[in-house]
Amino acid sequence: MTDNIFTAIPVDSTSQSGAEIFENLAAGSHVRIERIISRGHSSEPDNWYDQVESEWVMLLQGAAILSFEDGEQICLAAGDFVDIAAGRKHRVAWTDPDAVTIWLAVHYT
């Protein structure tokens, strides 16, 4: 089966609830690959992702800022990627409100 990461993007780039869209693309016993679609989304100020698996994430389109509990912030543009260790608390501080931001996330153990 062939598909394209940039197709089937909703016009308003959000789900019915206005939330980011998370789509599983593939999964196995130790890995899960997903596409995330954002437009002006950010995590709640006190909501930190604290995952039991590591996450490698690449920004394919758009712009975003990731914040980490230790105070580090990473600005991401198209093509940038980061590997986030399991248990490292992080959140999405900002995504571009004027453009669709597309992430490719690989969760692995």
CB of 58 closer than 8 Å to CB of 108: no
Tokens 């909703």 belong to which residue? Answer: 10
Rounded-to-integer distance, Cα 41 and Cα 52, Å: 23
- Amino acid found at 6: F
Amino acid 27: pLDDT: 97
Q: What is the pLDDT of residue 10?
A: 74
Length of the chain: 109
* CATH architecture of structural domain 21-108: Sandwich (2.60)
Nearest to 103 by CA among 49, 51, 63, 74: 63
The predicted pLDDT at position 19 comes to 80
pLDDT tens digits, 27-77: 999 999 999 999 999 999 889 999 999 999 999 999 999 999 999 999 999
Taking the C-alpha atoms of residue 41 and residue 28, their distance in angstroms, rounded to an integer, is: 28
Contact between 50 and 102 under an 8 Å Cβ cutoff? The reply is no
Residue 85 tokens read as 């260790």
Compute the distance between CA of residue 20 and CA of residue 100 in angstroms, rounded to an integer.
11
Say if strands 63-68 and 21-27 run parallel, antiparallel, or are unpaired. Answer: unpaired
Mean pLDDT of 12-38: 84
